[in-house]
Amino acid sequence: KPVIGVFALQGNVREHVEMLEQVGVDARPVRRPSELEQVAGLVLPGGESTTMDKLARAFELFEPLQKRIADGMPVFGTCAGMIMLADEITGGIAGQETLGGLDVTVRRNAFGRQVDSFEADLDFAALNSPYHAVFIRAPWVERVGSGVEVLSTVSSGPAAGRIVAVRHDRLLATSFHPELTGDARLHGYFADLVRGL
């Protein structure tokens, strides 16, 4: 069984652990560098990216995380986790930094206050059927670098065409919360990526 960690200093940790277990993975919370060393892949959950940034530094995980990402560890960033993976963000707070690794520009809180949270059915070629997605103060991707594959965009409404799921090699990121809907297909997709399938 591959061992996949869930960054556990802040955010929706338990939900991700449960979804990973559903797809046959040994899932563990990661709070310290010694725990990071033991995982083959990592989920960066949704939550609050500004707080994650600060806590990752305070717990001395920031640099070890950057190093593992640079060394090719598969990472799945969801919502705030997508922000943490982005090389560049807009709408961040002063001094906010990201781990980076994924050549995209992500806009924080992109969908606006009027639509704090919403749900939408997304077309997802990689999953070969619609995927019901929950967005909560979600970011979107405004720029993708070469080599970054767009996995899904919003299909209708005022945000139609906005990019909400991307992959570059072993880095996967979604604007929405795949851990909240009981649909484990994206966790399965990530587990296959960690298994090297």
- Name the binding residues: 47-49, 108, 136-137
- Is 68 a binding residue for ligand GLN by CB under 6 A? The answer is no
- Is 174 a binding residue for ligand GLN by CB under 6 A? The answer is no
As beta bridge partners, residue 172 has 76, 167
Instruction: Say which of 16, 79, 168, 187 is annotated catalytic.
Output: 79
**Residue number with CB closer to ligand GLN (36 or 80):** 80
Residue 128 CB, nearest approach to ligand GLN (Å): 27
| Buried-state track 151-165, b at ≥16 Cβ within 10 A, e below 16 | bbbbeeeebeebbbb
In the list 2, 5, 41, 47, the residue contacting ligand GLN (rule: CB under 6 A) is: 47
Residue 131 CB, nearest approach to ligand GLN (Å): 17
CB atoms within 10 A of CB 63: 12
Q: How far is CA 195 from CA 73, 126, 188, in A?
A: 11, 17, 10
* Distance in angstroms (rounded) separating the CA atoms of residues 127 and 90: 29
Residues in binding site for L-glutamine = 47-49, 108, 136-137
- Written as six digits, the tokens of 111 are 């969908």
- Is 141 a binding residue for ligand GLN by CB under 6 A? The answer is no
Which residues would be at the binding site for ligand GLN (CB under 6 A)?
46-49, 79-80, 83, 108-109, 136-137
